[in-house]
Amino acid sequence: MNKNELIDWLFENGDAVIRYRTATELTNDKSEYNISSLRTELMKTPKAHYWMKCLKDKRRLNYIHGSYDYCFENAMGKLIFMGIKAGFNKLEDSSKSYVKWLKESIETESEEPIENPIDFFYENLIASFLSASGFKDIEPVSTFVRERINMIYNFTKDNNFSIFADKANYKGISKAFDDHPLIDPELYLDGKFKLPWIHDLLTFSAFYDEFPDKIDQIISYILNEKYQKFPDGYGIVMAGVKRYTVLGWNVWLPGFSNFNLNEFHKQNIVTRMILMRPFKGARESKWYKNCLQHLEQFKQKNGTYLFPKEYLNEKNNSYFITGYHMGLGENRKSKNGLALESTFWMLKLTDK
């Protein structure tokens, strides 16, 4: 099957998520489809009901960041992958509380400046997922994100990869952190972390048309071999006087050096490719092309794809951003369940 035939196959054989995303994202002529009917079909699915319910309006940080399904980052990320974004009334209603949370958090800073970069991490996480969900132009998301992009760009434009400090110069670091390097406090003097987090890729995709040159520079920094040699998780940061905490979530790329991947890196390869795909520099990189070549080995005789299950993990109460929510609602026990999801993702990865 050629590309158009694969698109027809996805639409004719897929369930609600694949049908909706195929019609709205892969086809050249959307007028051939009843998008309104497909939206209704999608929102009636048990999965849509479940993940919308997970967007709890709770004013506690552990409802924003964490591995549980009810955490904002996992629920919103899963809804994005289901195609449920701005324009869906239920999501727009649910998003208002998080916009309010971000606004109040920023206003508090004007009176009490950030000292702990973890606080900024939470703000950035909310702004990133709201941007990717289609709420990029809502305040304070818009202003926050523009400042964030400029801040990361101003640091990465000099290609400075000396981001760690000598622990011997700092007191109170627990032995529990012996295996974690200390991120130079100069990179977050005001609590605002200058290095890119994996969540920033969601933001970059939403604002790429506005800041193509600056974002391309940041992507180039991420694709540098020196950056990819950073630990999988930046290290520890100062979180107060003689207080330290781990602050990870750097943009490591599975398959960057080779494809002798462990289980965790296997489950991240498609996710990281999807997050990097919007950027020209990423698509043209050796890493991305090698990944596509790696995935080509899973092409079947009829032109569809069948990835190993660990490449498209779906597991409750796990982090969206580390590839645990790649399922698209298909019955994996059926004949074509995994093939439908594999083929959809492959078409997304190769879409122009």
Task: Assess whether pLDDT exceeds 90 at residue 58.
Answer: no
Question: Confidence band (pLDDT; 50, 70, 90) for 32?
Answer: confident
Task: Assess whether pLDDT exceeds 90 at residue 301.
Answer: yes
Tokens standing for residue 76: 């919103």
Does 157 reside within a domain? no
Render pLDDT for 94-108 as a digit per residue (tens, 0 to 9).
999 999 999 998 888
SS3 238: strand
Structure confidence at residue 112 (pLDDT): 67
Q: How many CB atoms lie within 10 A of CB 235?
A: 22
Q: Which of 6-10, 54-58, 170-174 has the highest mean pLDDT?
A: 6-10
Cα 276 from Cα 289, distance rounded (Å): 12
Give residue 101's identity as a one-letter amino acid code. W
Q: How many CB atoms lie within 10 A of CB 140?
A: 17
Handedness of CA 316, 319, 322, 325 (dihedral sign): positive
Does 299 reside within a domain? yes
DSSP 8-class letter at 132: I
Domain count, the chain: 1
Q: Which whole number is the average pLDDT over 120-148?
A: 97
Q: Which whole number is the average pLDDT over 140-155?
A: 98
Mean pLDDT, the chain, integer: 95
Check: CB of residue 99 under 8 Å from CB of residue 134.
Answer: no
Does 307 reside within a domain? yes
Does 237 reside within a domain? no
Structure confidence at residue 57 (pLDDT): 72
- Min mean pLDDT across 35-49, 109-123, 282-296 is at 109-123
Look up the pTM and report it.
0.96
Query: How are beta strands 164-165 and 235-240 bridged, if at all?
Result: unpaired
Please list the residues that pair with 299 across neighbouring strands: 305
207 closest CA partner among 158, 288, 150 = 150
Does 187 reside within a domain? no
Render pLDDT for 328-337 as a digit per residue (tens, 0 to 9).
999 998 889 9
Structure confidence at residue 108 (pLDDT): 83
Q: What are phi and psi of 92, to 5 degrees?
A: -65, -40
Handedness of CA 144, 348, 274, 126 (dihedral sign): positive
Which helix H or strand E contains 222, and what residues bound it? helix 212-222
Check: CB of residue 45 under 8 Å from CB of residue 39.
Answer: no
Burial bucket for residue 17 (CB in 10 Å: 0-12, 13-18, 19+): buried
Does 70 reside within a domain? no
Strands (E), the chain: 164-165, 182-183, 235-240, 243-247
Task: Assess whether pLDDT exceeds 90 at residue 65.
Answer: yes
Residue-number span of the structural domain to which 300 is assigned? 1-15+261-352
Does 53 reside within a domain? no
Percentage of the chain surpassing pLDDT 90?
A: 89
Cα 63 from Cα 57, distance rounded (Å): 8
Please list the residues that pair with 247 across neighbouring strands: 235
Structure confidence at residue 155 (pLDDT): 98
For the chain, first and last CA: distance in Å? 18
Q: Which whole number is the average pLDDT over 287-304?
A: 98
Does 93 reside within a domain? no
Helix axes 117-130 and 141-156, enclosed angle (nearest 10): 120
Task: Assess whether pLDDT exceeds 90 at residue 277.
Answer: yes
Cα 49 from Cα 44, distance rounded (Å): 7
